[in-house]
């Protein structure tokens, strides 16, 4: 997920419904997806957000280092549209910054689950440009709607939400395992055309209740999801979409 950060770091805010997608059971080569996951994990481990590097100290000293880190590499909407080349780059750098272990692992799970099949369908170069471009525009869209916010915005799920949107168009009948809290987290399998619109609806409802303070930037999720679906529609709309792909869901639960 994409998160805002302020002086006090809040816990992850999630919408109702923890969804886990599935991949094809046959092995797929997805070097871009795996490189993105590796890069995000390595950058997190060496950052103050992980809390593992003694260089950043502990307690208030560590919190100060985290705030400075998020402000340097994250998106600050109020500063984004100033005449500053550095600020214009932050929607790209923020895609590789995560605020906590839960934040990182939730995003990487969804990237792992949905990224490989989408990458194989698009091709490596196109997928990499799609990921970066949609992620940048998703953060830009949120910043434009909250232009006076001074909160730092970090996270990869604008780009990951774009992957979900593209996956919905490309693999609408792929089976997705869903863990729903109001059904006691029973693992139920539904086609992507049921699960992913439901996820998007949850983001829409949450966005209507969210402010521009600390928490989850649901609007960026919606922008990314819409961009991803639109791109896949324009790029692959005249080609045959992949239908009922057999999928095997990995263990775990979370959502971007």
Q: List, for residues 56-112, the tens digit of each pLDDT value.
A: 988 999 999 999 999 999 999 988 877 677 788 999 999 999 999 999 998 998 899
Ramachandran assignment for 29, one of left (phi > 0), alpha (psi -120 to 50 degrees), beta (any other): beta
Give the 3-state secondary structure of residue 168: helix
pLDDT exceeds cutoff 80 at 243: no
CA 189 to CA 175: how far, in whole Å? 6
pLDDT at 53: 86
Q: Under a CB-based contact definition with an 8 Å cutoff, are residues 155 and 170 in contact?
A: no
Given a contact cutoff of 8 angstroms between Cβ atoms, the answer to whether 250 and 20 are in contact is yes
Average pLDDT over residues 204-230: 78
Query: Cα–Cα distance between 132 and 159 in angstroms, integer?
Result: 7
d(CA 40, CA 64): 22
The C-alpha atoms of residue 114 and residue 199 are separated, in whole angstroms, by 14
pLDDT at 2 over 70: no
- The residues, any chain, with a CB within 8 Å of residue 169's CB and separated by 6 or more, are 229, 232, 233, 236, 241
> 0.75 exceeded by the pTM?
yes
Residue matched to tokens 């208030």: 60
User: Quick check: helix, strand or coil at residue 109?
Assistant: helix
> CA-CA distance, 118 to 161, in Å (whole number)?
12
Confidence bin at 248 (pLDDT 50/70/90): very low
As a whole number, mean pLDDT of residues 109-130 equals 93
- Cβ atoms 74, 130 nearer than 8 A: no
**CA separation for the pair 65, 241 (Å, rounded):** 47
Express each pLDDT in 152-174 by its tens digit: 899 998 999 999 999 999 999 88
Helices of type H across 57-209:
59-73, 77-80, 85-93, 101-122, 124-145, 157-170, 192-209
Cα 117 to Cα 22: distance, rounded to the nearest angstrom: 10
Range scoring the smallest mean pLDDT among 58-62, 132-136, 252-256: 252-256
Across the chain, mean pLDDT equals 78
Spatial distance between the Cα atoms of 110 and 176, rounded to a whole number of angstroms: 12
Confidence of residue 218 (pLDDT cuts 50, 70, 90): confident
């Amino acid at each position: 997920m994409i998160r805002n950060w302020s002086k006090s770091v809040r816990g992850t805010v999630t919408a109702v419904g923890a969804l886990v997608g599935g991949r094809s059971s046959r092995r797929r080569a997805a070097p871009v997806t795996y490189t993105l996951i590796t890069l995000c994990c390595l950058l997190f481990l060496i950052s103050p957000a992980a809390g593992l590097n003694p260089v950043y100290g502990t307690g208030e000293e560590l919190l100060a280092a985290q705030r400075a880190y998020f402000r340097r590499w994250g998106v600050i909407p109020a500063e984004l549209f100033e005449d500053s080349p550095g600020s214009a780059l932050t929607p790209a750098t923020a895609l590789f910054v995560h605020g906590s272990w839960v934040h990182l692992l939730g995003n990487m799970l969804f990237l792992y689950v949905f990224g490989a099949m989408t990458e194989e369908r698009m091709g490596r170069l196109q997928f990499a440009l799609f990921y970066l471009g949609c992620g940048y525009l998703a953060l830009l869209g949120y910043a434009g709607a909250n232009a006076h916010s001074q909160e730092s915005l970090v996270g990869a799920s604008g780009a990951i939400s774009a992957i979900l949107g593209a996956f919905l168009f490309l693999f609408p009948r792929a089976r997705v395992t869903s863990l729903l809290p109001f059904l006691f987290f029973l693992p139920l399998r539904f086609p992507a055309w049921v699960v992913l619109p439901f996820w998007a609806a949850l983001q829409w409802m949450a966005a209507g209740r969210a402010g521009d303070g600390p928490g989850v930037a649901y609007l960026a999720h919606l922008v990314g999801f819409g961009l991803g679906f639109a791109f896949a529609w324009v790029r692959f709309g005249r080609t045959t979409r992949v239908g009922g792909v057999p999928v095997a869901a990995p263990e775990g639960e979370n959502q971007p």
